[in-house]
């Protein structure tokens, strides 16, 4: 293929940290291991309680810069009959990796995410997800995640490597839709979440 595929989307950067990347550092105010992280936004498809067909993914802080999460596949998440849609599984991995933000206390958005689909995931199955930060280089935050079925030690069904890019709150106010931005700014719970991240402006 021509080079258009790589240049149009901007980058084909490696998803493993470069040799000079820093070790991820757990923020001193990060939630304690075992603590539920809660939603970063009530309307988030991944973690928000306000999205009836969302994933309702509940993530917990782990040791170091790691998180665990669970997601139960419901009929609204099907691709083939009785099986989870691949894009939904990617969303679950993306959301779990995004939850590492809470431990680093930075806001970062997905730049690249590469997924292996290893086993089909049936409706009704619970995906036991883990994600860990593997390195930090400037604004670039590297992470890996996997999802197992049948229990936290069950077989791997999906796994992903990702590169997140640190942004400031202005990323959302500049790019988001005004109605939702205004509603978020008027919500004291949402402001509390936003402030939690402002420690590293
Ligand atoms: C107001 C109310 C308050 C709200 C409060 C909210 C609290 C929220 C808390 C937490 C939110 C977390 C949400 C998690 C949800 C799950 C995660 C998602 O699904 S996020 C959605 C999907 N992702 C996007 O929509 C990104 C879209 N892309 C962009 O916006 C830009 O492309 C962005 C920010 C990713 C990069 O743009 P640049 O202009 O800032 O970046 P440049 O300066 O060009 O690059 C910086 C470095 O990063 C590399 N880089 C940038 N983009 C890359 C890419 N796509 N792939 C690989 N590398 C990339 C570059 O090569 C550069 O590296 P070198 O420093 O030179 O070594």
What are the residue ranges spanned by the domains of the chain? 19-166
User: Of all protein residues, whose CA lies closest to atom 27 belonging to ligand 1?
Assistant: 111
Report the nearest atom of ligand 1 relative to the CA of 13: 57
Q: How far is the CA of 51 from the centre of ligand 1 (A)?
A: 23
133 contact partners, CB below 8 Å, separation of at least 6 = 24, 65, 66, 100, 103, 104, 141, 142, 143
**pLDDT tens-digit map of 92-137:** 999 999 999 999 999 999 999 999 999 999 999 999 999 999 999 9
The interface pTM score, or ipTM, of the predicted complex is 0.96
Phi-psi region of 64 (alpha: psi -120 to 50; beta: other; left: phi over 0): left
Percentage of the chain exceeding pLDDT 70: 93
Q: At what angle do helices 178-185 and 188-197 cross, to 10 degrees?
A: 90
Residues within a 6 A CB radius of ligand 1: 10-11, 13, 40-41, 46, 94-95, 98, 101, 107, 109-112, 138-140, 163, 165, 167, 169, 172-173, 181, 184-185, 190, 193-194, 197
pTM, to two decimals: 0.94
Gyration radius (Cα) of the chain, Å? 17
CATH fold group of domain 19-166: Thiol Ester Dehydrase; Chain A (3.10.129)
| pLDDT at position 198 over 90 | no
- For residue 32, what are the contacts with CB-CB under 8 A and spacing of at least 6? 61
């Amino acid at each position: 293929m021509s080079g258009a595929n790589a240049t149009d989307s901007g980058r084909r950067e490696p998803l493993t940290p470069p040799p000079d990347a820093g070790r991820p550092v757990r923020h001193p105010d990060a939630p304690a291991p075992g603590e539920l992280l809660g939603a970063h936004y009530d309307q988030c498809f991944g973690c928000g309680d306000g999205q009836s067909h969302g994933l309702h993914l509940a993530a917990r802080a782990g040791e170091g810069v790691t998180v665990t999460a669970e997601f139960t596949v419901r009929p609204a998440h099907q691709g083939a009959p009785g099986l989870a849609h691949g894009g939904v599984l990617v969303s679950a991995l993306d959301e779990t990796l995004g939850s590492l933000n809470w431990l680093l206390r930075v806001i970062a958005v997905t730049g690249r995410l590469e997924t292996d689909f290893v086993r089909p995931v049936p409706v009704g199955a619970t995906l036991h997800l883990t994600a860990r930060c593997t390195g930090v280089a400037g604004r670039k935050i590297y992470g890996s995640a996997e999802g197992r079925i049948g229990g936290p030690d069950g077989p791997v069904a999906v796994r992903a490597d990702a590169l997140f890019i640190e942004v400031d709150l202005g990323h959302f106010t500049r790019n988001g839709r005004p109605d939702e931005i205004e509603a978020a700014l008027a919500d004291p719970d949402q402001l509390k979440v936003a402030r939690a991240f402002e420690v590293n402006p």
